[in-house]
């Protein structure tokens, strides 16, 4: 049966690029403290890490999910959310859940008592974003590439730039200007992430320029945590970003009068930031 959930439009879900079936596969569900401060807060974000991904970026730091499909099928996502909320998390953070959209939408009804964060690659159709209207409070997408050739080489996805631009515009139109609570946590809004890649500092500048021009008042998180993995060994991607590349992007941000968001230091490029996908918290939804 043809799958039309994500923009890939695979001919068969069973052999699709995400590598998983229709039942959500979850690898970890636990309080997470390594998101941006407006998401993690003091008690953590209730991060639910879904397995599988329609992109398959060669440098993926969560390759246990995107390539190895670590996790267990979960038929009661709601029970997982409720257990996390009972632990005191500030929000429910759905990490790479777009290819399980029908089950996820069902699990979010009725509305949860805490904000829902949609943490994604940015590669989503406008129809997917429309289906989340009224169910998601904070969009936390990546904006990875602005050039089709880069997207093709690194994620086998040449249409990523145009798809992601449309998705981000739809997210922004849906949730509007950011709203924060008395603790400084984002309760509604758009926070766009961009990871600086080695050899692509100029493209980072162009991406950030597009965001500043087209997503007024959106928050931005500029990340410098790129860490090469075995899949990029021997290629141009087999290194961390250089000081010159980091400073190229930093100078551009400063020139724009950047205020709404966060910029990681180069010292953040460490494997320790990748959580253990050890099925923590998953049993509650079986």
Task: Specify binding-site residues for [4Fe-4S] cluster.
Answer: 53, 57, 60
Closest CA to 218 of 192, 195, 194, 196: 192
Residue 219 makes CB contacts below 8 A (sequence gap 6+) with: 38, 178, 186, 189, 190, 191, 192, 260, 261, 262
Burial class from Cβ neighbours inside 10 Å (0-12, 13-18, 19+) for residue 265 reads: exposed
Decide: 216 and 175 in contact? Cβ < 8 Å: no
E-assigned strand segments in the chain? 25-32, 45-50, 72-73, 92-95, 116-120, 138-141, 179-180, 186-195, 219-223, 261-263
* Known binding-site positions: 53, 57, 60
In whole angstroms, give the CA distance from residue 185 to residue 41.
Answer: 6
């Amino acid at each position: 049966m043809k799958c039309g959930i994500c923009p890939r439009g695979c001919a068969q879900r069973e052999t699709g690029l995400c590598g998983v079936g229709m039942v959500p596969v979850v690898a970890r569900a636990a309080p997470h403290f390594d998101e941006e401060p407006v998401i993690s807060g003091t008690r953590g974000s209730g991060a639910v890490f879904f397995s599988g991904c329609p992109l398959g970026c060669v440098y993926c730091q969560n390759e246990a999910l995107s390539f190895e499909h670590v996790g267990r099928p979960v038929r009661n996502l709601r029970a997982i959310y409720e257990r996390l909320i009972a632990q005191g998390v500030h929000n429910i953070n759905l990490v790479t859940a777009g290819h399980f959209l029908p089950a996820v939408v069902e699990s979010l009804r009725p509305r949860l008592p805490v904000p829902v964060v949609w943490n994604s690659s940015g590669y989503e159709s406008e129809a997917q974003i429309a289906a989340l209207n009224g169910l998601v409070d904070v969009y936390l997408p990546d904006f990875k590439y602005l050039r089709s050739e880069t997207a093709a080489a690194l994620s086998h996805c040449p249409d990523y730039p145009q798809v992601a631009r449309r998705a981000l515009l739809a997210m922004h139109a849906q949730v509007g200007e950011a709203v924060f609570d008395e603790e400084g946590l984002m309760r509604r809004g758009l926070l766009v992430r961009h990871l600086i890649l080695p050899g692509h500092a100029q493209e980072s500048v162009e991406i950030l320029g597009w965001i500043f021009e087209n997503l007024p008042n959106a928050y931005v998180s500029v990340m410098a945590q790129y860490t090469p993995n075995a899949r990029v060994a021997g290629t141009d991607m087999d290194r961390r970003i250089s000081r010159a590349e980091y400073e190229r992007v930093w100078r551009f941000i400063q020139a724009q009068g950047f205020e709404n968001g966060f910029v990681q230091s180069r010292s953040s490029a460490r494997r320790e930031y990748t959580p253990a996908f050890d099925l923590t918290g998953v049993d509650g939804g079986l």
